[in-house]
Structure 1
Amino acid sequence: MSPSPFVAWTSLLALWPLAQATFTITDPSDVINPADWAADNAILADYNVTPILYQTDTIVGPYTYNGQAANISHATLTVSKNDTSVLVVSNGSDVSVEYSTIVKYGYSSNLFQASFYGLNAAVNVANGSTLSLSNVNITTHHGAANLYTYGSGSTTYVDNAWLYSSGPTSHGLYAGGNGTVHAQNVVHYSGGNRCSSFSGDNPAGYIHVQNAVAHTDGVGSAICYALGLCNMTNVIGHASHAPVTFSDGVQTTIWTNSDLTAGLLGGVVLFSSATIESGASVTFDNSKLTVLGKTMPGLWFGNIIANANIISSQINNTASGILAVANYSQVTQDFDYYAGYVDNNDLSPAEATINVQESTLSGLLVAYNGSSINFNLTQYSTWKGSTQSGFGAAYFGVSLDATSNWTLTANTTTLQNFTDADSTLSNIASNGFYIRYNSTSSANKQWAGKTISLQGGGSFIPI
């Protein structure tokens, strides 16, 4: 087992609000060089196959437990074979593995089956079984998930795990079919494409992670792919070529006391790959999100009705200056660009609600093609930014409570809904810019069509 940084990490989190310092975080790519597996990571996940929504092959492996109880300790478990797992725990089994190493080589013949049903994963848990992993090292190559937990009543508990994977669809901790994973003290690295550190899949996976370091290098490889629940606490995550979160449909993602960096598309991408749905949410609580790209927003919404809750958190978007985008769009199958009308004309405008508490944020709110953003500042929050309409119609609402402030950086697009607990608007610094509001909107009736002078030389103007 490689040494774990969790004691230092937990201590630093406690000090974070008081002081900032530079420190080094290690992950499994510092031990196994990704360059040695470049050919493996260059293999693209091929999903251009006919979807079969049931498991087509029996999951097999040299260490299989079927309705059994067992304990494995100080062992090395390996296999080098295609479409084969190392450890299979099924049909009500209760197995524990401690102080052991699990190594998997071998390709998957069907990446769709690998993605949805765990074919070729190093460790498979299914059919109401329980697996406990403690002080384990799981290494996979050629496109194999480290751990897959499937089915209602199937639960995996992980404590102190070192996870490395290369090749496509080689997620770290992976749950589907209403399976659940509880993990703490985890370090993970994946180098392949579409290989999230922590992932749920159809119809839902429930992932709970505490005290983790996660690093992904592949395109479309998020820190958390939410299809179900991603509940993340004390996580340092760096997704070099992906958002930190993909959320497809009505899913829930919670980041608490975490420091996260995204390198492609956006910091968080909430979308629906099917018809528009309502109820998706992402929460950042005492966390920091950094987006690196020059066009990347902190938050992106497409073909979805969703909420983002920002509580005592930071969104560092200095490269792009874009805080949030809502659009008539979704993500391509390859997760490398946003698909618009030309790619798919059966979409709907996004409806985003962003609730901000005890946070200081900056950047533009941008809406395209009939989409809307409602931005609510409460509990001593501050925003430095403005609204901007992209192509087509856009709808914006801004709300400030009596403790919150807004500093304008540009003239606004017409606000369909503007509310301010301070009727004199003294909590707005205009810098010479103006706010336009729709005077015929019933949501704006408190302003009675008035023009109000703002601090800094700007105006609040009815349209």
Structure 2
Amino acid sequence: MSKKSGMKGFVVGAAVTASLAMSVSAYADTITKKIAVTYDDIIVELNGQETAMKDATGATVEPFIYNGTVYLPARAISEAVGLTASYDKATKTVSLTGAVETGSAPEETAGTADAASLGSATYLLDGSTASKTDESYIAVTTDTSAVKVIAGGALTLNGVTLSKTGGTSSEDNSNFYGLNAALLAAGGSTVFLNDSTITTSANGANAVFATGAGSTVNVSGATITTTEDSSRGLDATYTGTVNATNTNITTAGTHSASIATDRGNGTVNVTGGTMLTTGTDSPGIYSTGTISVTDALITAQGSEAAVIEGKNSITLTNTHLSGAKKSGIMLYQSFSGDAETGTGTLTMTGGSLTAYEGPLFYATNTDAVINLKNVGLTNNSGILLAASADKWGTTGANGATVTLNADAQPLTGDVTADSISSAQLVLSNGSSLTGTIDAANAAKSVSLTLDAASVWNVTGDSYLSALTDGDITLSNIKDNGYTIYYDASANANSWLAGATITLSGGGRLTPFTS
């Protein structure tokens, strides 16, 4: 059987009465495998091992006899012997393509694997240019992508359907290098995916994946659905880039963010679309690189709305997102090697953020900067910002240092930190804070800076390491009868001269010594 056949449909026939035996060769006849077919069942004998043939749904394929000929699907034969099948509607041609043989999985050291050499593909474009319209590419075997473009290839896909079943042999290789992804661009390749549908239903089956310098996937008007674990919607690693416009994404598995980057500072840019994640530990956005989202709706039902790990960023413009579990947005450093150590940055302009449980912003074992302007914030727990040690990092040195910059931004909720964590709040251009600051006097340090146009509406006794106020009359502090303690020993508070000041609402600003 040749690798390309002009058969109409996906049927192979052989004129036999009781049984059929055939040999199928791939890779220039260097591999020969035998298929034995009986009337009642199909048995695949591969290197002495018997395996029942399966179709794309996982059901056993049975032959049928017509006019003395046994018929069975070409796809089942091809995949049984290590080939993948695709059908070109325009030419009515079935293509059987040899898979890539791989050895042991590469070490997990960053950058050591060659994504182009990992796994196989139903449709592989190697260094050339092609365009496909209204095609369907199905990958059902382990470590097989539906479409893979390598070696600087350029592919345009219009109105295609990509389907991926069959799990990964290495979750790390799927996360870092796109093994088993439905659509994979590697080796400086470029893919345009327009008005298309991608469905994956296997572990480690990311939908769209770009990895390596110069590798870019541009997605427009797509619908993406993944149902199993470690299967993200859009993912970029090792400086790969994914750009998506008006794309709708739904994921259901654990560790399956709708928008993600992983090792090596990938970039994802999203405009428009609706994203929904329902799995445990599957935030709407997970960044170990650079992610920007504009005019989108993002809902995470089993996790935080977004997570930033290490020295990376998320920028949101007029985007509405919500997280149902743990917190609204988490900034942390895991020390797993997935992200460089440094300052994580969240920037939100317009749009909204809702946290149904936990703090609106939570930081641990990292340095973080949060920039907010005109964002609608909703927080059921009453905690605006929490900085504390958690399970990551070295005990005693795994707190957080967070700066929250508010520009024309209303803030509601308390600010808390533990004894090895610090928070700095900077309110400008008519921003406001309604809540307490370090009410338990537990923080390593917490400072507040107000310009003359910004207001702190105090809801309980609070402690400040440093207070800076552009209104020297302090009339922009609405004390509501509560006491605010400041560190008299801090140079930043020298302008208060250690005095106790009665505020307009009957409360006091009074010194304490740390």
TM range (shorter): 0.7 to 0.9
- Aligned AA (2:498): G
1:67–1:91 CA contact under 8 A, matched in 2: yes
- Which amino acid is the alignment partner of residue 375 of structure 2? S
Amino acid at match of 1:248: E
Measured after TM superposition, the shift of residue 58 of structure 1 is: 2.1
| Alpha-carbon distance in 1 for matches of 2:392, 2:460 | 27
How far residue 80 of structure 1 moved from its aligned partner, in angstroms, is: 0.9
Write the distance in 1 (CA, Å) between the matches of 2:441 and 2:476: 31
> In structure 1, how many angstroms separate the alpha carbons of the residues matched to 2:291 and 2:383?
25
- Equivalent position of 1:431 in the other structure: 480
2:353 counterpart residue number: 289
Deviations 1:92-133 (CA, angstroms, capped at 9, x unpaired): 001000011111111112111111111110011001110000
Residue equivalent to 2:407: 357
Q: Deviations over 1:8-59 (max 9, x none)?
A: xxxxxxxxxxxxxxxxxxxxxxxxxxxxxxxxxxxxxxxxx98454337623
Counterpart residue identity of residue 113, structure 1 = N
Note closer, same or farther for the CA distance 1:137–1:432 as it changes in structure 2 (3 Å cut).
same
Q: Trace 1:213-232 onto structure 2 (pairs within 5 A).
A: 213-232=274-293
Instruction: Answer yes or no: is the 8 Å Cα contact 2:314–2:347 preserved in 1.
Output: yes
Which letter does structure 2 place at the counterpart of 1:92?
Answer: G
Q: Number of aligned residue pairs: give it.
A: 401
Bigger drift between 83-92 and 268-277 goes to 268-277
Using the TM superposition, give the Cα deviation of residue 369 of structure 1 relative to its aligned residue in structure 2, in angstroms. Answer: 2.8
Query: Unaligned stretches of 5+ in structure 1?
Result: 1-48, 330-338
Q: Which residue of 2 aligns with 1:253?
A: 314
2:195 and 2:221 in contact (8 A); partners too: yes
Deviation at 1:157, TM superposition (A): 0.7
SS of corresponding position for 1:461: strand
User: For residue 180 of structure 1, what is the amino acid of its counterpart?
Assistant: T
Displacement, 1:389?
Answer: 5.7
Relative to structure 1, the CA distance from residue 137 to residue 390 in structure 2 (aligned partners, 3 Å threshold; closer, same or farther) is farther
How far apart, in 2, do the equivalents of 1:51 and 1:369 lie?
A: 35
Give the C-alpha shift of residue 392 in structure 1. Answer: 5.2
RMSD over aligned Cα atoms: 1.9
How much has 1:195 moved relative to structure 2?
Answer: 0.3
The verdict on how the C-alpha distance between 1:182 and 1:386 changes in structure 2, with shifts beyond 3 A counting, is same
Counterpart code for 2:208: L
Distance 1:340 1:137, change over 3 A: closer
CA contact (8 A) 1:368 1:390 kept: no
Q: Does 1:313 align with 2:362?
A: no
The one of 138, 150, 153 equivalent to 1:90 is 150
Counterpart for residue 55 of structure 1: 113
- AA matched with 1:177: Y
Q: Secondary structure at the match of 1:446?
A: helix
2:497 maps to 1:448: yes
Distance 2:109 2:368 in 1: 29
Deviation at 1:261, TM superposition (A): 0.6
How far apart, CA to CA, are the structure 2 residues paired with 1:369 and 1:163?
44
Give the counterpart of 1:184 among 224, 245, 258. Answer: 245
Alpha-carbon separation, structure 2, partners of 1:159 and 1:433? 54
The aligned counterpart of 1:80 is 140
2:224 is aligned, of 163, 177, 181, to: 163
Once the two structures are superposed, residues 401-436 of structure 1 have per-residue CA deviations (whole angstroms, 9 ceiling, x without a partner) of 0111111010002x1110000111001111110111
Secondary structure of the corresponding residue to residue 315 of structure 2: strand
1:374 aligns with 2:424: yes
Deviating above 4 A after TM superposition, structure 1's stretches of 4 or more consecutive aligned residues are 389-393
For each residue in 1:257-313, what CA deviation from the matched residue of structure 2 results, as whole angstroms up to 9, or x when unmatched? 0111101121111111129943210011002100011xx111111111110001111
Q: 2:467 aligns with which of 398, 415, 418?
A: 418
State the 1:388 CA deviation: 2.3
CA distance in 2, matches of 1:64, 1:95: 10
Structure 1 residue 450, shift from structure 2 partner = 1.5
Among 279, 283, 286, which residue is 2:343 paired with? 279
Provide the residue aligned with 1:153 in structure 2. Answer: 214
**Aligned-partner SS, 1:396:** strand
Deviation of residue 214 (structure 1)? Answer: 0.4
Q: Map 1:15-30 onto structure 2 (within 5 A).
A: none
Q: In the alignment, which of 200, 204, 208 is matched to residue 261 of structure 2?
A: 200
2:233 to 165, 172, 187: 172
Q: Distance in 2 between matches of 1:391 and 1:273?
A: 27
| Percent identity of equivalent pairs | 29
Distance 1:389 1:82, change over 3 A: farther
| Contact 1:368 1:389 (C-alpha < 8 Å) held by counterparts | no
Distance, in Å, in 1 between the alignment partners of 2:478 and 2:142 is 63
User: Is the CA contact (8 Å cut-off) linking 1:369 and 1:391 kept in structure 2?
Assistant: no
Name the CA shift for 1:460/1:358 in 2 (closer, same or farther; >3 Å).
Answer: same
State how far apart, in whole Å, the 1-side matches of 2:213 and 2:396 are: 33
- Report how far residue 340 of structure 1 moved: 6.3
Unaligned runs of 5+ in 2: 1-105
AA in 2 matched with 1:242 = S
Amino acid at match of 2:272: N
1:299 lines up with 2:361 in the alignment: yes
Q: Distance in 2 between matches of 1:399 and 1:346?
A: 28
Residues 1:105 and 2:165 are matched in the alignment: yes
The 1-side partners of 2:363 and 2:123 are apart by 43
- Retained in 2: the 8 A contact 1:146–1:172? yes
Whole-angstrom CA distance in 2 between matches of 1:151 and 1:237: 27
Q: Which of 118, 124, 141 is the aligned partner of 1:64?
A: 124
**What is the CA–CA distance in structure 1 between the aligned matches of 2:262 and 2:221, rounded to whole Å?**
24
Equivalent residue number for residue 266 of structure 1: 327
Compute the TM-score of the two structures, normalised by the length of structure 2. 0.75
The structure number with the bigger radius of gyration is: 2
